[in-house]
Amino acid sequence: MAEPIILPPRLDLSSVPAVLANLKSRPDGDTLVLDAAHVGHFGALGLQMVLAAAKTAGNRLQMVNVSDKALAQLHCMGMTPEKICEVAR
């Protein structure tokens, strides 16, 4: 498994630029593994960034260790980690 990208506790306007830079620094063809264990706030901008990363990564995106708070917030936006990964296909 590829080295995971540890998502910050708040995935929102304040943190998206740094996460995006990290995503862009990964070599093409690598599987993107997003570790959401510490995410307590999953904002809409964060979701938009993750969806764009999923689309760009194709079949090479995994979300792991998604916190209960992140799951609840994704659910409120009509999403789940599985649906995000489906975007990649």
Contact between 30 and 65 (Cβ < 8 Å): no
Place of tokens 């994704």: 74
**Is 16:8 a contact under the CB 8 Å cutoff?**
no
Dist. CA 70–CA 9, nearest whole Å:
10
- How far lies 52's CA from each of 68, 76, 83, 87, in Å? 23, 19, 13, 9
Domain ranges across the chain: 5-17+31-87
- The reply to whether the predicted model has a pTM over 0.85 is yes
Residue 83: how many other CB atoms lie within 10 Å:
12
Q: pLDDT (tens digit, 9 = 90+) per residue, 26-71?
A: 877 778 899 999 999 999 999 999 998 888 877 788 899 999 999 9
